[in-house]
């Protein structure tokens, strides 16, 4: 399971992608401005509410970002352990632990955006935010990442499943890693070649037809919430 767009009729699905993008950026700013346990507790409630509003669950979102868990869990330990006395610095471990938790709740809000926003709408919002060719290049990059990263991860998972089906678990870890890496790179290159051919066949242009973006009354609460988070972050920093 990975974080990806899921067709639904949730509240977040009905929002304009620009409103969701504004809310995501404002939430990240507030999370980095309010670093106390009380502030992060309030933001945690908001992050969970965003996931539910997108029709998902915290468990699904957390599992989709499971690759980040080892780093977020290990960071407080690395920061708190010392070579000599006192061996453990509780203050440093707590500070780093709060920072890791802050990253996790930001990822939850990002998961709600990805789950409720089609790739084309995300690209349209980015190109509206960054006009001109730089915005188009950014939109193309985001679209390609959203579309092909899950495919590449699926290729790696398929290769691992094939190895286990052929009793590959009896081989050394180094040998299995080499097989997965070689197969993954080969499939990635093959997909890149097919993508280049498909873009050429479709007369790839810098100015594609994207879906229209329209604000509605549904966006008002999200925009007001994002504005309040932005103001709160500015006040905290000032």
The helices-and-strands tally (H runs, E runs) of the chain is 9, 0
Q: Which residues partner with 88 through β-bridges? A: 81
Nearest partner of 10 among 40, 49, 42, 46, judged by Cα: 49
- Which of 9-13, 155-159, 175-179 tops mean pLDDT? 9-13
Higher pLDDT, 93 or 238: 93
Residue 1 in this model has a pLDDT that exceeds 70: no
Q: What is the pLDDT of residues 131-176, one digit of tens each?
A: 777 767 777 676 666 666 667 777 777 877 877 777 767 777 777 7
Provide the mean pLDDT of the chain.
83
Q: What is the DSSP letter of 118?
A: -
> 41-56 b/e with 16+ CB inside 10 Å = b?
eebbebbbebbebbbb
Please give the pLDDT value at position 185.
Answer: 81
Residue 51 in this model has a pLDDT that exceeds 70: yes
Among all chains, which residue has been given the structure tokens 């995501």? 24
Q: Retrieve residue 97's tokens.
A: 């632990």
In the three-class reduction of DSSP (H, G, I as helix; E, B as strand; rest coil), residue 14 is classed as coil
Please give the pLDDT value at position 106.
Answer: 92
Number of Cβ atoms within 10 Å of the Cβ of 159 = 20
Residue 90 in this model has a pLDDT that exceeds 90: no
- What is the pLDDT averaged over residues 58-83? 85
Residue 200 in this model has a pLDDT that exceeds 80: no
Q: What is the DSSP letter of 65?
A: T
132 φ/ψ angles, rounded to the nearest 5 degrees: 85, -170
Distance CA 89, CA 82 (A): 7
Indicate the range of 83-92, 171-180, 225-234 predicted with least confidence. Answer: 171-180
Residue 167 region by backbone torsions, left for phi larger than 0, else alpha for psi between -120 and 50, else beta: left
- What is the pLDDT averaged over residues 172-190? 77
Residue 17 in this model has a pLDDT that exceeds 80: yes
Q: Which residues partner with 81 through β-bridges? A: 88
Please give the pLDDT value at position 199.
Answer: 66
Among all chains, which residue has been given the structure tokens 């409103």? 19
Q: Retrieve residue 170's tokens.
A: 């009896």
């Amino acid at each position: 399971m990975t974080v990806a767009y899921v067709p639904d009729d949730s509240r977040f699905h009905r929002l304009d992608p620009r409103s969701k993008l504004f809310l995501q950026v404002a939430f990240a700013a507030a999370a980095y401005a309010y670093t106390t346990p009380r502030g992060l507790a309030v933001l945690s409630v908001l992050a969970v509410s965003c996931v539910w509003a997108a029709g998902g669950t915290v468990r699904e979102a957390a599992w989709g970002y499971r690759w980040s868990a080892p780093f977020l869990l290990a960071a407080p330990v690395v920061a708190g352990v010392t070579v000599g006395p006192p061996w453990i610095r509780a203050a440093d471990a707590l500070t780093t632990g709060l920072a890791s938790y802050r990253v996790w709740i930001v990822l939850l809000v990002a998961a709600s955006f990805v789950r409720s926003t089609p790739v084309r709408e995300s690209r349209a919002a980015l190109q509206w935010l960054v006009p001109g060719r730089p915005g188009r290049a950014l939109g193309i990059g985001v679209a390609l990442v959203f579309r092909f990263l899950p495919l590449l991860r699926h290729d790696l998972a398929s290769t691992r499943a094939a190895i286990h089906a052929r009793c590959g678990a009896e081989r050394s870890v180094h040998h299995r890693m080499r097989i997965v890496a070689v197969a993954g790179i080969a499939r990635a290159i093959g997909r890149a070649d097919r993508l280049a051919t498909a873009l050429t066949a479709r007369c790839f242009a810098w100015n594609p037809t994207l879906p229209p973006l329209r604000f509605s009354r549904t966006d008002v609460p999200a925009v007001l919430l994002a504005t309040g988070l932005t103001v709160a972050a500015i006040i905290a920093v000032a």
